[in-house]
Every structure is written in structure tokens, then in C-alpha cells.
Amino acid sequence: MCGIVGLFIKSPKLEPELGALLATMLEVMSDRGPDSAGFAVYGDGRSDRVKLSLHAPGGADFQAIAATLEGQVGTKVGVTIRSSHAILEVPAERETALRDALGQGYPLVTVVGTGARMEIYKEVGQPADVARRFDLSSMAGTHGVGHTRMATESAITTAGAHPFSTGRDQCLVHNGSLSNHNSLRRTLRRDGVAFGTDNDSEVAAGYLTWRLRQGDSLKRALTSSLDTLDGFYTFVVGTESGFAVLRDPISCKPAVMAETDDYVAFGSEYRALADLPGIARARVWEPEPATVYSWERAA
């Protein structure tokens, strides 16, 4: 069992409240997933710059690391520290240099996500504590996803927490379990998708990344996963401008959605949505099995 939530803001006036709303949704889902929690927020960003979301076990002196990297990469490295995570920001063309320097100098530091706008934070612990440690409530953005984990498939570690990101500005949270993830991971690795864990959910993220790389739309990529992924799943997926939900054809895992003029919201249960503004007047429904629901922000 896990809890997943997602919020896609349609009305700009709600964007400053994204983090606060997501934090509430996440905390309500604590009893579905008390082991660990994580979230991705799509906030400010520029297409000519890239943000790397870093995790260092037990924390690290990210300021010192950034200062050292600046010399190696040859450009100013923006740094924002939140607990055990930091966001490093550089011009997009310096991403490879930054990754190389990080990998060589700081092998214990993990890149958990990359993107122009997406930032990812995840950690072991009670969801409310995790949200507080990273100060999720203060974050603004257009959309975000979150996950509370009750581990079944791999160890309770930060690396095993969701969201998983295997492509730029792409992330996925998963409630369920996949049974063909090992063979699919091998296939995707041959096709150039990189994986950081043995977790089944990361393979779902990797599969979507691969399909998007082939030119699929998010909706089409998710539709094709119905044929490829074997197991139980409810997914909530974020891209730079998109937000989507898919349940497997059996649909054992619960899901509720709500939509108003101001937002689209997803929760494993209605409880997660109960505090959203205007929820009493929202259209509330259970997403159909094997049906992709997707929303895209106007460019």
C-alpha cells in the first residue's frame, strides 16, 4: 500500500499555494505510507538553464561543493539547500560538465532529478516530517506530485522513495507493484535509459522516458504502457507542462480525482482532497481502469 497525490493548477492565482496544498494532501496520506515520502514540484525555470536535484545521505556542505564545482565547470553554480537535498542550477549547456564533476568528486551525492522547472525531494520518515524538513509549504509552482511509501518491493531508503525521475522534467509516482520490471529494465538499459535503483517503479518511469524520447505524447506513452507493464499500478506522472493519471485494467489500487476551474487534483483517497479550496463544488470521480487522463499547460 502507498499513497499518491497530485495537483495540477489551472488558475495562476493558486500557484503560490501549490506547496502548501500538496503538503496537506501528502500528510493526510501518511497512514497509507508511513515509511518515506517524496514530492516533485514544477516551479520557476528557464529553458536555457537546468536544475539538478541532489540528495546526499545525512546531508553535505552543499555550499562548499557548489563553490568547488564552479571552478571545475567554469560557470557560476546557483545553489539552494533544503535539508539533505540541494538544487544546483547552471546554464543548460553546462549540465554534462556539472554531472561529470559531481560524479568524480562526490560519488555519494545522487542526482534524483533534472529539469528546467522540476525539483524533487524525497526522504525516509513520516510524510509530515519529510514535508516540513524540505519546507514544502513554501514552494510555489504550476503542478506537483507526491508519494507516501509503504515499501513492498525494495528497501526503505531514500533511493527507493518516490517520485522517480528518469528524464528531464519527468517524474512518476506509483502505487502498486510491477512483475516484469527486471526484464524490462534490461531492455531499456540497452536502449540507453539509466537506472539508479532496483525499484520496480523506476522502471515504469524509465519506460515512459524511453517512449517520450521516441516522440510519443505523454498520453500515447502511457497508453502503450498498458501493453508493456505487467502488474498493479496507479501512476501519476508529471512533465514540464503535463500531468497525467493511469490505472491498470484490474484497478485494485484506489484513485479519486477532482476538478474545478482552478485545478485538477488526484488522491489515492478522497481524504487527500478534502482540504482543497472549493472541493465541495468540485467534480469528483473515480478514474476508469486502463484510461489515460492527461492535462497539458498552454505553452
Q: In whole angstroms, how close is the CB of 32 to other proteins at the nearest point? A: 11
Of residues 131-170, which lie at the interface with other proteins (CB under 8 A)? Answer: none
Nearer to other proteins, 20 or 140 (CB): 20
Q: In whole angstroms, how close is the CB of 219 to other proteins at the nearest point? A: 22
Q: Can you tell me the distance from the alpha carbon of 273 to that of 28, in angstroms, rounded to the nearest whole number?
A: 9
Does 284 interact with other proteins (rule: CB under 8 A)?
yes
Characterize the bridge pairing of strands 78-82 and 85-91: antiparallel
Are 46 and 173 in contact, with CB atoms under 8 Å apart?
no
Q: Can you tell me the distance from the alpha carbon of 169 to that of 50, in angstroms, rounded to the nearest whole number?
A: 10
Does 269 interact with other proteins (rule: CB under 8 A)?
yes
Of residues 201-260, which lie at the interface with other proteins (CB under 8 A)? Answer: 249-251, 254, 256
The count of chain residues that interact with other proteins, using the rule CB under 8 A, is 17
Does 273 interact with other proteins (rule: CB under 8 A)?
yes
Cis peptide before 287 (omega within 30 of 0): no
Which of 173, 146, 142 lies closest to 8 in space, CA to CA?
Answer: 142
Does 175 interact with other proteins (rule: CB under 8 A)?
no
Are 262 and 277 in contact, with CB atoms under 8 Å apart?
yes
Q: Can you tell me the distance from the alpha carbon of 154 to that of 240, in angstroms, rounded to the nearest whole number?
A: 28
Nearer to other proteins, 226 or 274 (CB): 274
Helices H / strands E in the chain, number of each: 7, 16
- Let me know if 2 is a catalytic residue: yes
Q: Which of 1, 2, 19, 155 is an active site residue?
A: 2
DSSP of 144-157 = EEEEEE--SSS-SS
Q: What is the grid cell recorded at 176? A: 502498486
Of residues 20-49, which lie at the interface with other proteins (CB under 8 A)? Answer: none
| Binder among 270, 291, 295, 297 for other proteins (CB under 8 A) | 270
Does 271 interact with other proteins (rule: CB under 8 A)?
yes
Nearer to other proteins, 2 or 212 (CB): 2
Hey, which residues are catalytic here?
2
Query: Which residues in this chain contact other proteins in the complex, by CB under 8 A?
Result: 249-251, 254, 256, 269-274, 280, 284-286, 288-289
